[in-house]
Structure 1
């Protein structure tokens, strides 16, 4: 099985306590509020919460920087992610780590784990995500942003640069923009069935029925053979010249996040 790595920058932290060591800075009110929101979105969009089929495996471990703001972000997400507190691991090497150091941490993960969520800091976390991907797609990650990444290897030790694929990307602002009233994603009326035989038909399409699709989506997520779009899950992509969109079309569940 391929490995899945979700990278999350810690939620918004407080600078109110003068003289407090950087390592010990807590989350502010906004950070405390945003962390569970992002966790619920990840759980309900990718992990099979609410009875919707999961796109990726459940998290086997949460690995966090030892800094209070990163650890607190992870702890606030545990319940909504459905992860027991005993699966949260603290690793001092993740604190303000550069991409090369983060890669080494990943290479040492237990191969029995298929999905790990890592909580860290910028600029290292954003740079790490961008360098992992075979197509550059991540600018600076804002606080509490999450990048869901598929690694094309069966062992963590094989991880290297420019080979991974971005499955999804979300930020608190994107969720707030799509759901300003605070409601969770709800199933929508699915579009009529239709089939395409060539992924390029999706890549060059300006829209898919009710939902706009950015250029390039589908090139790495659809099969070369015909498929039914109502049974297909397309992950979000974000590039430097397109907005982050997510389209889920799956047996009557259709959710567009932009």
Structure 2
């Protein structure tokens, strides 16, 4: 793999970042602060990811080129599919570009077809919007179940596989990421697919490790904003410091 200098790598990672605020007490002021951070001295992030209730508010405020993502069926991955479909359609009507959907991961072990069918229905509701299927890999635990979940989501029509909500004790891990990437590599649909590690990514080195893994599995040059996203917000300060050759912050957010 071609060696890159850290400054260039940090700037590339910023361009792949889904800057996120999914705190329960998130306010319009917090959304404003998130939007302000989306345009950095080293380029814009790929997207902001916020609660559906803020989508219409945020839409006209976004910097040019920044996508607007929101979450549905979040974070528990419940099974009321009609409510999820309605939530998806409402978010798109409000201006969302991307839907991050928590699959019915509790059904994966005994009925993966159930999860796949629900992904299919949400994708139909999403239409041309990007659908990122959140597998909650830290709760599946067994690597075999992680693979089953990945295949089920892809069979349902998901455009991205996303590791985690960031709301569970175990979020993104490199072993789970490798399974998701290999599932994408082996998919025979011919569709353009993507990967999003999310939760617990706190440093430039951790973000780079996921990008490097993606290019190891998928091929050099694969990890661009159209196929690779980082679900993190606390990592932005560290990426900005590396990109600017500045002193790096010691305290990093958990998400």
Normalised by the length of structure 2, the TM-score is 0.33
* Structure (1/2) with the larger helix percentage: 2
* Structure (1/2) with the larger strand percentage: 1
- Tell me which structure has the larger Cα radius of gyration: 1
Normalised by the length of structure 1, the TM-score is 0.32
